[in-house]
Amino acid sequence: MSAIPGRDALQPERTALAWQRTAITALVALVPLVLVALRTGRPLQAASGAAAMGISVLLVGSVRRRFVQLRDETRGYSPWQPMVRVAVVTLLAAVGGVVLGVTSWLG
């Protein structure tokens, strides 16, 4: 990723909003996963999904910090850490869904 081109440009704000939407999408994808895991008697998968949901909520809130950083004129900040965190939560949601689907299919 390149450095922030200029404080008046909107690209950094759009990037932060895109990652916030990705975190919200992961959260929404985890809700049915946790509900199905609870209804099918898989408490470990439900607890793992609930933990990932908690992390996703924190990630959505962390975008506010990114907007504060964008207003800081003294130094540049990298969006790398929030992007990695959101990617990990999204990956956990996908893996959890696959595991739940396969274990439900196998019985």
Domains annotated for the chain, with CATH where assigned, are 11-106 (1.20.120)
pLDDT for position 3:
57
pLDDT for position 10:
67
CA 103 to chain centre: 24
CA 70 to chain centre: 20
The torsion angle over the Cα atoms of residues 84, 87, 89 and 90, rounded to 10 degrees, is 180
pTM greater than the 0.95 cutoff: no
Q: Are 57 and 27 in contact (CB under 8 A)?
A: yes
pLDDT for position 91:
83
In 3D space, the residue among 29, 27, 14 whose CA is nearest the CA of residue 59 turns out to be 27
Q: Give residues with Cβ within 8 angstroms of 33, minimum separation 6.
A: 45, 49, 93, 96, 97, 100
Q: Give residues with Cβ within 8 angstroms of 29, minimum separation 6.
A: 93, 94, 97
Written as tens digits, the pLDDT of the chain (107 aa) is 455 555 556 676 777 778 778 878 888 888 888 888 899 898 888 888 888 888 878 877 777 676 676 666 666 666 677 777 778 877 887 888 888 888 878 87
pLDDT for position 77:
63
Upper half-sphere CA count for residue 56 (Cβ side, 13 Å): 24
